[in-house]
Amino acid sequence: MTLRTLLVGTTAALMLSTALTACSPANKPAATTEVTAPILGEFGVDLSNIDARVKPGDDFFTYVNGKWLERTEIPADRSSFGSFHVLSDQAQERTRAIIEETAAGNNKPGSSEQKIGDLYAAFMDIDSINAAGLTPIEADLAAIRALDSRDAIMTAMSNPGSGLSFPLSVYVYIDRKDPTKYITYAGQGGLGMPSRDYYLKTDDGTKALRVAYKKMLMAMLESAGVEDFETAATNVLNFESRLAKVHWESERRREKDLTYNKMSIEDLKAYAPGLNWDVMLETAGLGAIDEIVLRENTAVKGTAKVFAQTDIETLKHYMMAHHISDMAPYLPEDIDAANFAFYGQALSGTKEQRPRWKRGVGVVSGTLGEAIGEVYVGRHFPEESKAQMRELVENLRATFKDGIDNLDWMSAETKVQAQDKLAKFNPKIGYPDKWTDYSTLKVDRDDLIGTIKSAQAWEWNDMVSDLGKPIDRDEWGMTPQTVNAYYNPGLNEIVFPAAILDAPFFDPNADPAVNYGGIGAVIGHEMGHGFDDQGRKTDGNGQERDWWTKEDAEAFTERAQNLVAQYDSFKAFDDLNLKGQLTLGENIGDLTGVTMAYKAYKRSLNGKEAPIIDGLTGDQRFFLAYGQIWQSKMREKATRAQIETGVHSLGKYRVNGIVRNFGPWYDAFDVKPGDALYLAPEDRVKIW
């Protein structure tokens, strides 16, 4: 599934939750807000964070957030911290109390309460986990040791209930070329480090990470009883390095034109003969399919070749090391610590593990997310917030419509198609209309590893069962308690979970300028994904097709490449610039978001002047609110990882890189030539 999210990667995965009772949105108790004052400051922006020593035109991000940056320390259990984390912390605290009550309750067997309580209790029982050692996965390890052929290895890897790693990414989702049906996709995968660059680059920092990764592999293999675990770890690392060489670069993987390669299963077997596709598909429950879409097609072909050329012992050691690493959060503390030493400390610079209760909340949320989310919205999402969000969305849609009509670089022919797509945007706000049914998911309080593997198989089988069914337009890609938002091109929908609809993004009692600068920019960002460099390749029905004239496509690309050049020029470290092509889609989303939100704010004033509040104009409050939502700090290792692999720019540049392209910001803060962020009007990028 392809979701164009507001925030992902190192600083995200904020799928955090709150509560559990037996109520649904249809009859839920109304969440109420007793306080009428804004949550932040006098009107919705915390002015105590402003650093007046910094000129807005030199560094607007630091001007808005400088005092916060000075006084804020990144918590020891995080690689980054900011506005998203503040909301997630709030959600976690609420969740902890409710889940712990549930775990202690006398719940009906098979109920969601029983499953949530038992899973949390099993994860929190660290004494039993330590006492059990590797016993819960010893049968898995023994089964791996007994494998004697590549076909046997393929069978084990492909079994949804095995919990074993597979060197490809396989999934079922909407057919990008025919959005009336589901289809199976396959693409590159199987690496233990974030991307191919971590295996292939030769700078000292990357070399050090490979040493740390090998150390982690050694720890996993030693715990599995492998005698020469150092040699085995070297062989596993070499195997993954060969996979990395056939993988595509991150920038290339974004290109929709390149990542839809449909073929029959018979053609697939001829194209990539190094894998036994019949065994893999049959074992995975996909034996009946007759066609498949390859994303990184040459990487799939190359992976099959690497697999066929790798000795069986190395493949078995690869499976062992990854299985123990994947299960480390549910295994004794020494194994979990060895895993964290690489993924938390070496890779991201995080100093300490998160407290176990926080990890427990994450496990339950990731497994039974909508069962918790159903109650989250009942307790913490007022219906008036949903109504106000609908109004904001429709005002931005109307503004976007006017914006398309007034474009001077787009032909009337293409505008008709763009307007059709905009009109067909389906906004989803707060929570699903239909909740996931977890009745067939089994949770055993006395078997944590078994439950995790069972949940993985349940999720896989649930996904595969979509094949042959009508498209489920009610399905959500995030739970309501997720602090994020997304655009889904296959359904042409923009989705805003309940948890992000809180300050600083949205506050029903804040000044309208603040809500437009906050959640309005988020709404515009997600709408913008429908028209970014990749989103523009899909039409209003979710079908991937070229609906542009040649001239209009060229005009769009020219503007987009100017934005690429701007972001390429930003230097985060002396030896590392941002990657404008990798982050282009998100940067277009940000620029579109601010542009449309600002115009929608002006539209909402109905021709009247905004009031002056605390000596600030409405325009100033709008831009302060935008700068405030990207308030963030990140450790150096995490920053480098985000730049190397993330499709989102760093928070500082999501502010500075955008406002410098938007004329009203110059007027609001009297930005002049000579200021560091100043761009001459002819150099400012305007796309939508």
Q: What is the rounded CA–CA span in Å between residue 683 and residue 688?
A: 16
Q: Looking at the chain, which residues constitute the CATH 3.40.390.10 domain(s)?
A: 4-15+39-97+359-434+474-683
Structure-token pair, residue 378 = 């009942």
Whether the CB-CB separation of 236 and 314 falls below 8 Å is answered with: yes
Question: Given strand 261-264, what is the order of strands in its sheet?
Answer: 168-174, 182-188, 291-294, 261-264
Q: What is the rounded CA–CA span in Å between residue 212 and residue 340?
A: 11
Q: Looking at the chain, which residues constitute the CATH 1.10.1380.10 domain(s)?
A: 143-331
Question: Given strand 4-5, what is the order of strands in its sheet?
Answer: 4-5, 486-488, 493-497, 426-430
Find all residues with CB under 8 Å of 457, minimum gap 6, and list them: 160, 161
Would strands 80-82 and 632-634 be described as parallel, antiparallel, or unpaired? antiparallel
Specify the DSSP element, H or E, that contains 493: strand 493-497
Distance between terminal CA atoms of the chain?
Answer: 26
Could you say which DSSP state residue 138 is in? H
Q: Is 106 exposed, middle or buried (0-12, 13-18, 19+ CB in 10 A)?
A: exposed
pTM as predicted? 0.93
Residue with structure tokens 């439950």?
451
**What does each C-alpha distance from 643 to 202, 479, 637 come to in angstroms?**
17, 27, 10
Structure-token pair, residue 111 = 């109920």
Residue with structure tokens 């306080």?
35
> What is the per-residue pLDDT for 2?
67
Q: What is the CA radius of gyration of the chain?
A: 25
Beta-carbon neighbour count of residue 67 at 10 Å?
17
As a whole number of angstroms, the longest Cα–Cα distance in the chain is 77
> What is the per-residue pLDDT for 36?
77
CATH for 143-331 is: 1.10.1380.10
Q: Residue 394's Cα: distance from chain center in Å? A: 25
Q: What is the rounded CA–CA span in Å between residue 150 and residue 166?
A: 13
Find all residues with CB under 8 Å of 120, minimum gap 6, and list them: 99, 100, 102, 103, 360, 361, 363, 364
SS3 call for 25: coil
Beta-carbon neighbour count of residue 228 at 10 Å?
11
Could you tell me if residue 9 is left (phi over 0), alpha (psi between -120 and 50 degrees) or otherwise beta? left
Beta-carbon neighbour count of residue 592 at 10 Å?
25
Could you say which DSSP state residue 345 is in? I
SS3 call for 198: helix
Sign of CA dihedral 154, 155, 158, 163: negative
Whether the CB-CB separation of 157 and 149 falls below 8 Å is answered with: no
Beta bridge mates, 169: 187
Find all residues with CB under 8 Å of 82, minimum gap 6, and list them: 11, 630, 631, 632, 633, 651
CATH class of 4-15+39-97+359-434+474-683: alpha beta
Q: Tens of pLDDT along 192-203?
A: 999 999 999 999
Beta bridge mates, 430: 497
Structure-token pair, residue 603 = 């539209």
Q: Tens of pLDDT along 251-298?
A: 999 999 999 999 999 999 999 999 999 999 999 999 999 999 999 999
Q: Is 503 exposed, middle or buried (0-12, 13-18, 19+ CB in 10 A)?
A: buried
Overall residue count recorded for the chain in this entry: 688
Residue by residue, DSSP assigns 80-106 as EEEHHHHHHHHHHHHHHHHHHHHHHS-
Series of mean pLDDT values for 10-residue runs along the chain (688 residues): 61 28 33 67 97 98 98 97 94 83 84 94 97 98 97 96 92 98 98 97 97 98 97 98 98 97 98 97 97 98 98 98 98 98 97 96 94 89 94 98 97 98 98 96 96 97 97 95 95 96 95 98 98 97 98 98 98 96 98 98 96 97 98 97 96 98 98 98 97
> What is the per-residue pLDDT for 332?
98
Residue with structure tokens 């012992």?
313
Could you say which DSSP state residue 166 is in? -
**194 upstream amide cis, omega within 30 of 0:** no
Q: What is the rounded CA–CA span in Å between residue 382 and residue 359?
A: 28
Structure-token pair, residue 595 = 């542009």
